[in-house]
Structure 1
């Protein structure tokens, strides 16, 4: 393997990038700090100047992932304005797009076993990403009579769970999970059914 090195002077970020590459290749539990150091072109001892261990390195990758994720979600939400419905649907599509474009970050965030409360920085990044979807849900929820309106946190959690399920089952090319329809269509139809149940879309036909 050719050493990538860190001639740009940012060893910490070089190690994160090495970890992301190894996470994609081997999974979050399938590599060692020594492998990450070797790929970054440094000795294993150099890693400990920046990270206490492998989990700290993965946690940093997850934090950076949440920061990118929040930016992607915010851009999608802003792009859908001024329609609350368009903004809400755009955030769902952005979830799929992020998982495909940033698989290493996605795995570090959701499949590594690293809790979002491991550090204040990771918790804050996760909260910012979640708050974008909650804001989109709150905007859309204003069109529902108050007595029938679910809390924004519940509303957004349902869509988050649906998006996550589509990604895990049908958008990650997992063996034996070939989807009968494109993941985007599955998510869009699922969101449509959910929103019709809340009275936010007219019935079919």
Structure 2
């Protein structure tokens, strides 16, 4: 466990979130108490309640910040993949894995804590923004599919989100008994490739 961090008036709230992220990564979202978060941040338990009503509110704020970072990462991947709609779309899938690797505490708070994405308007808005980038990438790419064969962009992006999430949960985060014989990046890339070939968006392998 890291040393207690000092704080100044005004950034205690963020110090508590940072402490929670460390504890979430170390013990899981239900493996710590508010008192432990306070101790990690170097403050008294009473100080926590000036900012958060309970552990779930603290985790929800960690999730909100995670979705903000996630949205930025996905947006950057989408932008740098342009002008090719295919490259932009594939980049957003790779960015999902990169986010899960770099920000495990945020990822757990977002997807494994059981906290509803609608717990606060701010959390819902951050999550909606991140999903919107994926849907926009899917919508751009789906313009290359004949209208009669074109899935809704929301379904298209949901399929890729589910595939990315499954690779992270089953193989990148080392669920017991599910070690993949392939690197997570290759597994996701090949899965997306099969999906896009099925939609006629990339040429079949020869």
The two structures share one fold, judged by TM-score above 0.5 = yes
Query: Does 1:122 pair with 2:114?
Result: no
Match of 2:189 in 1: 188
Q: Distance in 1 between matches of 2:34 and 2:9?
A: 21
Q: Distance in 2 between matches of 1:119 and 1:10?
A: 21
CA-to-aligned-CA distance 1:73-107 (integer Å, 9 cap, x gap)? 00000000000000000000000000000000000
Q: Distance in 2 between matches of 1:163 and 1:152?
A: 16
Q: Secondary structure at the match of 2:118?
A: helix
Q: Secondary structure at the match of 1:203?
A: coil
Bigger Cα displacement from structure 2, 91-100 vs 173-182: 173-182
Query: Does 1:32 pair with 2:50?
Result: no
Match of 1:153 in 2: 154
Bigger Cα displacement from structure 2, 118-127 vs 168-177: 168-177
Superposition pairs of residues 55-204 of structure 1, within 5 angstroms: 55-204=56-205
Q: Secondary structure at the match of 1:117?
A: coil
Q: Mind listing any 5+ residue stretches in structure 1 that lack a counterpart?
A: none
Q: Mind listing any 5+ residue stretches in structure 2 that lack a counterpart?
A: none
Match of 2:16 in 1: 15
Cα RMSD for the two superposed structures: 1.0
Q: Distance in 1 between matches of 2:67 and 2:123?
A: 8
Q: Distance in 2 between matches of 1:60 and 1:201?
A: 40
Alpha-carbon distance, 1:7 to partner = 3.9
Match of 1:53 in 2: 54
Alpha-carbon distance, 1:3 to partner = 2.3
Q: Distance in 2 between matches of 1:86 and 1:79?
A: 9
Contact 1:5 1:42 in 2 (8 A): no
Alpha-carbon distance, 1:4 to partner = 1.9
Moved >4 Å (runs of 4+): none
